[in-house]
């Protein structure tokens, strides 16, 4: 199969910068005639076809950052955006936020639309549909054509760019270990399907903690929820799954939820079953958001420092935008999570 020709590939083959290739293909007189013709001949002979993101590359900076988030249900993403805006404003950048609504198509269209609006770079967390499809062409093509991208939270190795994450495996391990240390032996896991990287890593952390502490790994204690089940209409189905787990195993004495939406559903089920928290069942979850803080009882959480994730992502993007070194190596920054103990454990 023939490799797709990109601006980056042309630049490497002809030993020029990506900017020079882009300007030459636009017939910019900033580039000498001989160089322009050499680049255009090479591009034509190798079948180069720019997409809409490539066409949006510009010769001037707009000091605008495009942010694409998967949803507005999870408080985590709102906090990340807040962190991005703080650093962006401090450095004289504007921020435009778009919502993929967990849709691959919307994610692609948002990237194209924002690129056409002359943004300087992207910060985004991948949609669930993109992760499920494992189709990252639109992002890789954007990067190859000179548009910097920083991924946060939901990241994949197939995209080479700067990334900001938390150690989801360790956070889940520590959360499960906390329940075990408090005497819990039958711990129910509420997690996502494995194609969502953060859910998969948190599931792995839970499993490792169970195994390391000599407890039997019971598959029926792992509930993998399709994470679209977070709307008001879908809550009954989620709650029914949790209630069914208790009907099958009345020895469940702990719950670890990979997000506070799942934890909120668990709270409702436990009340319906007349289970006292934490006397009968201990409960811990990821995301130290409003649900966790203001539920009754308040929830013990794995705090991800979402604002710090946003600040780090914005800082890394701005660093790349303002650095002319095209050989600047990509980095993956890990923000440390901490457990905030409250009434539920």
Closest to 203 in 3D by CA, of 222, 180, 219, 220: 222
The C-alpha atoms of residue 154 and residue 124 are separated, in whole angstroms, by 9
Confidence of residue 137 (pLDDT cuts 50, 70, 90): confident
Strand ranges in the chain using DSSP code E only, listed in sequence order: 64-69, 94-99, 121-124, 149-152, 162-166, 187-192, 222-225, 254-257, 282-286, 300-303, 332-335, 338-340
Give the DSSP per-residue string, 19-40. Answer: HHHHHHHTT-TTS-HHHHHHHH
The C-alpha atoms of residue 320 and residue 176 are separated, in whole angstroms, by 38
| Residue whose token pair is 């939406």 | 261
129/325: higher pLDDT: 129
What phi and psi, each to the nearest 5 degrees, are found at residue 131?
A: -65, -40
User: How far is Cα of residue 128 from the mean position of the Cα atoms in its chain?
Assistant: 9
CB 41 within 8 A of CB 168: no
The C-alpha atoms of residue 78 and residue 257 are separated, in whole angstroms, by 20
Give the DSSP per-residue string, 171-219. Answer: HHHHHHHHHHHTT--SEEEEEE-TTSHHHHHHHHHHHHHHHHTT----G
Q: What is the mean pLDDT of the chain?
A: 89
Model pLDDT, residue 30:
81
**What is the DSSP code (8-state) at residue 233?**
T
Give the other-Cβ count within 10 Å of 31's Cβ. Answer: 20
Confidence of residue 160 (pLDDT cuts 50, 70, 90): very high
Q: Beta strand 338-340 with 64-69: parallel, antiparallel or unpaired?
A: unpaired
Domains of the chain: 7-49 (no CATH), 64-164+306-335 (3.40.50.2300), 168-303 (3.40.50.2300)
Give the other-Cβ count within 10 Å of 211's Cβ. Answer: 11
pLDDT tens digits, one per residue of 236-280: 888 999 999 999 999 999 999 999 999 999 999 999 999 999 999
Which residues are registered as beta bridge partners of 96? 66
The C-alpha atoms of residue 175 and residue 286 are separated, in whole angstroms, by 9
Closest to 53 in 3D by CA, of 66, 36, 34, 37: 66
Give the other-Cβ count within 10 Å of 339's Cβ. Answer: 17
Cut 0.85: pTM above it? no
Confidence of residue 1 (pLDDT cuts 50, 70, 90): very low
Task: Please say if the pLDDT value at position 7 is more than 80.
Answer: no
């Amino acid at each position: 199969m023939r490799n797709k020709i990109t601006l980056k590939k042309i630049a490497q083959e002809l030993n020029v910068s990506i900017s020079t290739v882009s300007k030459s293909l636009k017939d910019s007189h900033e580039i000498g005639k001989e160089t322009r013709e050499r680049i255009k001949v090479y591009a034509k002979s190798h079948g180069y076809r720019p997409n809409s993101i490539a066409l949006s590359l510009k010769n001037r900076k707009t000091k605008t950052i495009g942010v694409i988030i998967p949803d507005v249900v999870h408080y985590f993403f709102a906090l990340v955006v807040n962190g991005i805006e703080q650093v962006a404003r401090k450095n004289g950048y504007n921020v435009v936020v778009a919502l993929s609504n967990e849709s691959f198509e919307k994610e692609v269209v948002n990237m194209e639309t924002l690129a056409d609006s002359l943004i300087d770079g992207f910060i985004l967390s991948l949609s669930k549909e993109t992760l499920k499809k494992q189709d990252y062409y639109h992002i890789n093509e954007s990067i190859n054509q000179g548009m910097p991208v920083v991924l946060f939270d939901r990241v994949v190795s197939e995209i080479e760019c700067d990334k900001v994450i938390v150690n989801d495996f360790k956070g889940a391990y520590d959360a499960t270990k906390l329940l075990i240390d408090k005497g819990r032996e039958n711990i129910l896991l509420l997690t996502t399907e494995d194609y969502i990287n953060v859910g998969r890593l948190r599931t792995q952390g839970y499993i490792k903690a169970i195994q390391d502490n000599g407890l039997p790994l019971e598959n029926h204690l792992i509930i993998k929820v399709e994470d679209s089940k977070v709307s008001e209409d879908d809550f009954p189905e989620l709650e029914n799954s949790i209630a069914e787990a208790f009907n099958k195993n009345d020895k469940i004495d702990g719950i670890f939820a990979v997000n506070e939406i799942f934890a909120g559903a668990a709270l409702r089920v436990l009340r319906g079953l007349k289970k006292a928290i934490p006397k009968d069942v201990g409960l811990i979850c990821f995301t130290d958001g409003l649900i966790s803080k203001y539920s009754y009882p308040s929830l013990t959480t794995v705090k991800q420092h979402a604002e710090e994730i946003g600040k780090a992502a914005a800082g890394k993007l701005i660093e790349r935008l303002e650095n002319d070194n095209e050989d600047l190596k990509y980095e993956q920054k890990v923000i440390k999570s901490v457990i905030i103990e409250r009434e539920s454990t």
